[in-house]
A and B are shown apart, each in its own frame.
Chain A
């Protein structure tokens, strides 16, 4: 066992600890995770999803047609562990830990000669805020990231050992079935891989020859993608594009109108040529894309969506700023080995930029792999430069100490913000309080014939199903989905004796034999007989419960 191996094992243990510690409780299960868990449970019990579709490729869920592979990965966990928080999250965490190991493998394969680089890259991914965040929870994107990096590594390894080359098809295809963004990133990455290794794959003695192994690879790949393509032509594809696509935002369109309005002749050739929808949407795309490289996003504030962020923290550590800069400068001098990683970095934000919410840490999560590798490269270069140029031992040691202390401080600051502040700062980032609410209602709601729950927070019905382990066969036949709203989401307004509505106290106060669960301000009568309040971690009131 060499030093490096020991170090690697330590890194993996650290990665596991950071991803598994308090996994079930922080943050609470959100609606999407509950949907994954409950649908997996439904598949396990009945072979159909919650809405009764047999073995779907995309799960209809809230009308957003979630890509299905992660659901199927969760199925065995549900069957062993039961339907609970851990079963939904454990696969994600394990794949996250696996990704750390794969970064080590990939770094070693691409750059076998740079000292401690693979270990540092693995360490940086192990402690990466961006990667930890989406490893802790049932996030499809994280699973897709695992398949992509595994696919890239086995593709390269496969140049020497055929079996890995074939394995890479399965892995790349798996990523397509796991997450939307992968459907853009993976094909682009595959083309770059073929281009970079064209001499080994497409050329024989300087002549273009379609080798048998490449043909098999492509044929199997296309064959396995067909079900996905067929499914995507249906409502699954449409729902996604219309809900979150760039064109769902009318901003650029109105901007063109405003701009034309400022011309004397609003239908003049110039006004029409310079201010039109294609141009403004094009600019919006590039602007969205570029936002993913903004220092504010990467190092200071992170994503704007509360669910995807930690307070006062960027997607990376502050010191990564220095490492990345050095890394980039040296990559320009040594570009040929970095082609794949740089291409990956360039492609990764494209899917997010095609949607109107940018920057988007979740959809662009794949960026974290190239960024961490570049940062690690910069760090290795900086450290070796220091050791070559600073001769006095003590001074060298203090330089190391300063850098490591700074990183360590930022790392503990992240843990502090994550474990102490995240849940308390963002009330609505996850479905906090619902678990307690369901327990309470299960206990005290028996004798009531109707239970009305506020629809203020995301999709309450799925969390009730999830926490109550409500029999899927009963639910499948006993509910209706509402029509989709403008973002493409539907919900279920009720099943059994549960109803999910916005609570109107003046109308509902006269109901009988009912438990009413409202959000604060919904029940606004001082005389209301509130028997229980459920709180957010911050101490703010989440639910007020009134038996009528």
Chain B
């Protein structure tokens, strides 16, 4: 044991840093549970208490949840934490954090396999582990119940097991297949991102796989196949509304744009010019390519991050640190100079294809769907840092430049920490659905004074916060969910309309204010309540308001007497 610690001192330091960065203040930053996190936690609670998901199915593999049919591994991983810590933010987020920490170890192992036999492999392993431990992108998706982070962790492990299998441990192939299968049970997007990895491995290493014993191959294929069967079934079952909503193919070019092309070019849809240069499939293909490129843009990687969502990275900063740009370029150069063995080719493939599922989706950029990129890019960082320090070693001014780089790096990382801990909560609180927890607590305090509580309906799924923060007994919820749930006509996320005497619906203040003995919870930015009504204390009672962390008004709690 002592020997193990001695040999892996640096790795252990990296793991410790990773753990601190992923566990510190986990329940307070991100500043609030997003509804997707809350539903994972509550479903785990429901499994723990009743063995059933919130919709009442017994030990489901895919959870219906809001109607988006979430693969359920995260929920099962969460059950023991809920059992130990109770139903709260920490317990909900812990599995992601723990897998995030383990990924640092997995990537260390993977890099060792990728560059097996190279003199510099050991140093790059350490560098990569450190870079992943402090990677803003990876930290971000380890903090919070992001299924994608767990799926990534499993993917890295599975690739490592695969390489180990073809390097003398054939039976590892079965484990690899199982772990690959588990990714699909963890995260929707894994269907494509794991598919890409499997495809690259199958093409590049076909000869090595064939050399393994037949039995092992058969077992692996069977194991993997059986594991993903439920996911495949769900695919044919029509539970793909989500896919349709997010796929780029559901969003053709705007009618107006097409008309302008036709008008200005004085052509029709049948003209050869339209078919050859402007037709819909070409437009779509260009769109996909453009999205794909976006994920390699400096804007995304270094300066601005995911510009489509404020929940996916820090404000005023990218998915990587500023100084990482230098190491990325150096890493690219170092990798490009290597002789193309198959494992290096695999790394190229993975790097290029990792944003694929993001490229085929609606948003122009998406840090979650492209999360797998973080591993090949962090390996580039490791290679870049190794090549830089190797270059500086022994040079007269080497130590000086190394010190300069290190100081810049520390500065850059401090900037990130400041952005994450000071600025991100303030600027992003409403995107983490901040306020629902505080609202539920305030409603609980006064609810017995009213007949009915009307909460403004929203795709933020207010019901889940009542369940979560009231630790509402799952049996009772399962009994009424059918009456409450209104599926979406598009097969996407649906809505829940009531919970006991709480109703979730749109609020029309001018009509609703005429009712009596009701408590209204309104979103200040969608429903305007005239301030004169607040002054009318005979009819209305202003109970409280909840502000977002940037001091803008979030919710108003109003009683109608």
Taking a contact as CB atoms under 8 Å apart, the answer to whether A294 and B336 are in contact is: no
CA–CA, A411 and B337, complex, Å = 32
B349 close to A (CB within 8 Å): no
Q: Which of B81-127 contact A (CB under 8 A)?
A: none
CB distance from A461 to the nearest CB of B (A): 30
B265 close to A (CB within 8 Å): yes
Residue of B nearest to A261 (CB): B426
CB distance from A326 to the nearest CB of B (A): 10
Contact of A290 with B265 at beta-carbon distance under 8 Å, contacts A329-B336, A333-B337 already known = no
CB distance from B207 to the nearest CB of A (A): 18
Contact of A332 with B297 at beta-carbon distance under 8 Å, contacts A259-B316, A409-B276, A413-B277 already known = no
CB distance from A538 to the nearest CB of B (A): 6
Taking a contact as CB atoms under 8 Å apart, the answer to whether A262 and B422 are in contact is: yes
Taking a contact as CB atoms under 8 Å apart, the answer to whether A262 and B322 are in contact is: no
Chain B residues with Cβ below 8 Å from A420 are 264-265, 273
- The interface-forming segment of B21-29, B287-295, B370-378 is B287-295
CA–CA, A60 and B502, complex, Å = 72
Taking a contact as CB atoms under 8 Å apart, the answer to whether A262 and B299 are in contact is: no
Residues 417-456 of chain A: 1 if any B CB is under 8 Å from the residue's CB, otherwise 0?
1001100110000000000000000000000000000000
Contact of A332 with B336 at beta-carbon distance under 8 Å, contacts A255-B316, A274-B414, A299-B293 already known = yes
A263 close to B (CB within 8 Å): yes
A111 close to B (CB within 8 Å): no
Taking a contact as CB atoms under 8 Å apart, the answer to whether A295 and B336 are in contact is: no
CB distance from A331 to the nearest CB of B (A): 8
CB distance from B286 to the nearest CB of A (A): 7
A198 close to B (CB within 8 Å): no
Taking a contact as CB atoms under 8 Å apart, the answer to whether B293 and A332 are in contact is: no
CB distance from A332 to the nearest CB of B (A): 4
Contact of A262 with B294 at beta-carbon distance under 8 Å, contacts A286-B322, A290-B302, A291-B299 already known = no
B208 close to A (CB within 8 Å): no
Q: Which of B242-292 contact A (CB under 8 A)?
A: 261, 264-265, 273, 276-277, 286, 289-290
CB distance from B532 to the nearest CB of A (A): 32
CA–CA, A287 and B302, complex, Å = 9
CA–CA, A540 and B75, complex, Å = 59
CA–CA, A294 and B300, complex, Å = 10
Chain B residues with Cβ below 8 Å from A413 are 276-277
A479 close to B (CB within 8 Å): no
A546 close to B (CB within 8 Å): no
CA–CA, A156 and B286, complex, Å = 41
Chain B residues with Cβ below 8 Å from A329 are 336
Taking a contact as CB atoms under 8 Å apart, the answer to whether A290 and B299 are in contact is: yes
A416 close to B (CB within 8 Å): yes
CA–CA, A328 and B333, complex, Å = 9
B325 close to A (CB within 8 Å): yes
CB distance from A502 to the nearest CB of B (A): 29
Q: Is the interface of A mostly helix, strand, loop or mixed?
A: helix
Chain B residues with Cβ below 8 Å from A538 are 264
Taking a contact as CB atoms under 8 Å apart, the answer to whether A296 and B290 are in contact is: yes
B451 close to A (CB within 8 Å): no
Q: Which of B276, B286, B297, B302 has the most CB of A within 10 A?
A: B297
A318 close to B (CB within 8 Å): yes
The bracket for how many chain B residues form the interface is 20 to 34
Taking a contact as CB atoms under 8 Å apart, the answer to whether A294 and B427 are in contact is: no
B225 close to A (CB within 8 Å): no
Residues 325-350 of chain B: 1 if any A CB is under 8 Å from the residue's CB, otherwise 0?
10000001100110000000000000
Residue from B264, B290, B296, B303 in contact with A283 in the complex, judged by beta carbons closer than 8 Å: B303
Residues 408-451 of chain B: 1 if any A CB is under 8 Å from the residue's CB, otherwise 0?
00000011001000110011000000000000000000000000
A270 close to B (CB within 8 Å): yes
Q: Which of A255, A263, A295, A318 has the most CB of B within 10 A?
A: A295
Contact of A300 with B336 at beta-carbon distance under 8 Å, contacts A274-B418, A416-B273 already known = no
CA–CA, A15 and B439, complex, Å = 69
Q: Is the interface of B mostly helix, strand, loop or mixed?
A: helix
Taking a contact as CB atoms under 8 Å apart, the answer to whether A295 and B293 are in contact is: yes
CA–CA, A75 and B422, complex, Å = 61
Contact of A333 with B336 at beta-carbon distance under 8 Å, contacts A295-B297, A296-B294 already known = yes
Taking a contact as CB atoms under 8 Å apart, the answer to whether B296 and A262 are in contact is: no
Taking a contact as CB atoms under 8 Å apart, the answer to whether A296 and B273 are in contact is: no
Residues 397-425 of chain A: 1 if any B CB is under 8 Å from the residue's CB, otherwise 0?
00000000000010001001100110011
Chain A residues with Cβ below 8 Å from B273 are 416, 420
Taking a contact as CB atoms under 8 Å apart, the answer to whether B336 and A328 are in contact is: yes
Taking a contact as CB atoms under 8 Å apart, the answer to whether B289 and A318 are in contact is: yes
Residue of A nearest to B318 (CB): A287
Taking a contact as CB atoms under 8 Å apart, the answer to whether B298 and A291 are in contact is: yes
Taking a contact as CB atoms under 8 Å apart, the answer to whether B414 and A425 are in contact is: no
A7 close to B (CB within 8 Å): no
Taking a contact as CB atoms under 8 Å apart, the answer to whether A421 and B265 are in contact is: yes
Taking a contact as CB atoms under 8 Å apart, the answer to whether B333 and A332 are in contact is: yes
CB distance from B363 to the nearest CB of A (A): 14
CB distance from B35 to the nearest CB of A (A): 25
Chain A residues with Cβ below 8 Å from B325 are 286, 290
- Chain B residues proximal to chain A, CB less than 8 Å: 261, 264-265, 273, 276-277, 286, 289-290, 293-294, 296-299, 302-304, 316, 322, 325, 332-333, 336-337, 414-415, 418, 422-423, 426-427
A to B CB contacts below 8 Å, 23 in the list: A262-B423, A274-B418, A283-B322, A286-B303, A286-B322, A286-B325, A287-B298, A287-B304, A290-B299, A295-B290, A295-B293, A295-B294, A299-B293, A300-B286, A300-B289, A300-B290, A300-B293, A318-B286, A332-B336, A333-B336, A409-B276, A421-B265, A424-B264
Known: A287-B298, A296-B297, A300-B289. 12 other contacts (CB 8 A): A262-B426, A263-B422, A270-B418, A290-B303, A299-B293, A300-B293, A332-B332, A333-B336, A409-B276, A416-B277, A421-B264, A421-B265
- Chain A residues proximal to chain B, CB less than 8 Å: 255, 259, 262-263, 270, 274, 283, 286-287, 290-291, 293-296, 299-300, 318, 321, 328-330, 332-333, 409, 413, 416-417, 420-421, 424-425, 538
Q: Closest 5 A-B residue pairs measured CB to CB?
A: A295-B293, A290-B298, A332-B336, A424-B264, A329-B336
